[in-house]
Structure 1
Amino acid sequence: MKQRHVAVLGAGVMGSAIAALAVGNGLPVTLVDVDRAVLDRARGEVTRHLRLARLMGAQTGTDVAELRTTVDLSDVADADVVVEAVTELADVKAKVLAEVSALVGPEALVLTNTSAIPVDELAGSVAYPERTVGAHFMNPPYLIKTVEVVRGPRSSEAALAVARDFLTGMGREVVVVGDGPGFVINRVLQRMINEAARIADEGLATPEEIDLLFTGCLGHRTGPLATADLIGLDNVVDSLRVLRDRTGDQGYEPSALLLAKVADGDFGRKTGRGFYEHRGTK
């Protein structure tokens, strides 16, 4: 794999995990966030992710590259791969993508890790829309090898080839899909989470019982509500709203239970409580 300088925009749950994947595969990363305290925490998270990846056998090499952190977006001007992983709000993503695309060169690949916003919608904000591709990593990306890569209507074959080389060079398996709200994974997954939350709210089954049925009967690694806690219930609600607004399907209207948990600050693993208690993870 060609040696690349990777810029990761957003140092939250996914941004820090993507940064860990890249540096663990020998690619230097500049991690950007507007909040220095978030960046300081992210550095510790990257170290934790790398340790876990080694324990799980997901990273066997020792060639860990440099991780730089910065609050200055201009520090990524020389990056040739940009991975956008900011919050799932279209206006925020569009603003960040517009700013970074004005800084990097015309040959730089811009990957958006959006969960549900159509890639072409975001590509309308960048200087070179043909160099913009969706790369929907699953959490945690250093353990889940498959990446849903989204070909926007304006994504070029050259950009897709670079995206494939970048991802496969880190040991990822690429599945290329077409563009649209939620793509494949989240068009199905977010609806499933929403329905599972409604079932729990109706008292038909507990979260534990719902997830046990999915793991025991359908062979899922985790059920929908444990998965929601891993994603972050705030991110689930944001993704559901994107899907509702862009498809007109009211089945994506966030359930009352999801909204209540988010209002209470119970986002899942990252806050220590969601549908489950997560001790020692906050």
Structure 2
Amino acid sequence: MKKIGVVGAGTMGIGISQCLAQVGLEVILVDISDEILNRSKREIIKNIRYSALFNKGEQIESVDTVIERITFTTDYHLLSDIDFLVENVTEKYEIKKSVYELIDPICPKNCVFAINTSCISITKLASSTKRQDRVIGMHFMNPVQMKPVIEAIRGFHTSDETINVAKKFLATMGKQMILVNDLPGFVSNRLSHLLMNEAAFVIQDQVAQPQDVDNIFKECFNHAMGPLETADLIGLDTIVDSLDVLYESYQDSKYRVCPLLRKMVDAGHCGRKSGRGFYDY
């Protein structure tokens, strides 16, 4: 593999593009506006500089060298000769579906599509393409640069060959996969989103303050981050969208969105990316 397509220049697309460029791969990073792409470029530059600062003993390439490997573009046709694709657009089925309908005829027929989604069915999205056997779920964790393992999801038609290609792709990034089967939410988010949603109910019910909730998980359970800190990092809007997908998929009231969470998103308080969530940033 030499050239990788990354669709979606949000938090996950930024992290994935940086990791790929830092291991020497050419990256085509696509999004819908130059404003988004310029912001992603600034963020990648900042992240590379931080890497150099915190890893002084390691040989790290210059910012310019890494950035030159990334093409920032709004033109999907630049994906016409890629070897592998990772899609990271917003967690809404109709938007993702429209992207696959657009890129499927553009990308090479042997190119594997990796869907980076929190909850949406891989099988359902794969049906928007004419390569269902070459579609796999890849749920990267945030921050991408620091997580050595991802949750991979086998869709109904995903072939063994596609799984092997995906393993080789991840090995190039220095990562491994844990392979699970396809049902909405998979393993990680069927569990973690219940935890974050219930933590929001605890705040809504005035049982405790956000810092106390998170400290219980960090100090008592030895978690690296508490559920509300994690929600702020992921983005409360993404949490709400994912819970909506889980509720629609399973028709189970345990996935109902906490009213406080939806109210915060409506107010524009989406966590780190907006400067305010359960905490101020």
TM-score range, shorter chain: over 0.9
Alignment of 1:276 onto 2:279: yes
Match of 1:251 among 249, 254, 264: 254
Normalized against structure 2, the TM-score is what? Answer: 0.95
Identify unmatched segments of 5+ residues in structure 2: none
Opposite residue 161 of structure 1, the aligned amino acid is N
Deviation string for 1:105-134 (max 9, x for gaps)? Answer: 111010010110010010000120111000
Give the partner amino acid of 2:231: A
From 152, 156, 177, give the equivalent of 1:153. Answer: 156
Q: Distance in 1 between matches of 2:5 and 2:265?
A: 30
Q: Deviations over 1:219-245 (max 9, x none)?
A: 110000000000000000000000000
* Counterparts of 2:17 and 2:121, CA distance in 1: 23
The equivalent position to 2:41 in structure 1, one of 21, 43, 50, is 43
Structure 2 match to 1:162: 165
1:98–1:127 CA contact under 8 A, matched in 2:
no
Q: Which residue of 2 aligns with 1:67?
A: 70
Code of the residue aligned with 2:48 in structure 1: it is: L
In the alignment, is residue 131 of structure 1 matched against residue 129 of structure 2?
Answer: no
The TM-score normalised by the length of structure 1 is 0.94
Name the residue aligned to 2:203.
200
Cross-structure match for 2:145? 142
Work out which of the residue numbers 30, 51, 54 in structure 2 matches 1:53.
51
Q: Distance in 1 between matches of 2:211 and 2:157?
A: 43
Task: Please state whether the residue corresponding to 1:142 is helix, strand or coil.
Answer: helix
2:153 alignment partner, SS class: strand
8 Å contact from structure 1 (residues 53, 143) kept in 2 = no
SS of the residue corresponding to residue 151 of structure 2 reads strand
Equivalents in 1 of 2:120, 2:54: separation in Å? 32
Q: Determine the structure 2 residue equivalent to 1:188.
A: 191
Tell me what 1:8 maps to.
Answer: 6
Change (3 A) 1:54 1:173: farther
In 2: Cα distance, 1:76 partner to 1:199 partner: 46
Give 1:56 shift.
Answer: 4.2
AA matched with 1:134: G
Q: How many residues align?
A: 276
For the pair 1:264 / 2:267, whether they are aligned, the reply is yes
Counterpart of 1:34?
Answer: 32
Matched AA of 2:124:
E
**Aligned partners of 1:275 and 1:173: how far apart in 2?**
32
Offset of residue 61 of structure 1 = 4.4
Name the structure 2 match of 1:85: 88
Which letter maps to 1:43? K
Amino acid at match of 1:245: E
Tell whether the 8 Å contact from 1:53 to 1:142 is kept in structure 2 after alignment: no
Contiguous gaps of at least 5 residues in structure 1? none
Residue 114 of structure 1 aligns to a residue whose secondary structure is coil
Q: Given the alignment, which residue of 178, 181, 197 partners 1:178?
A: 181
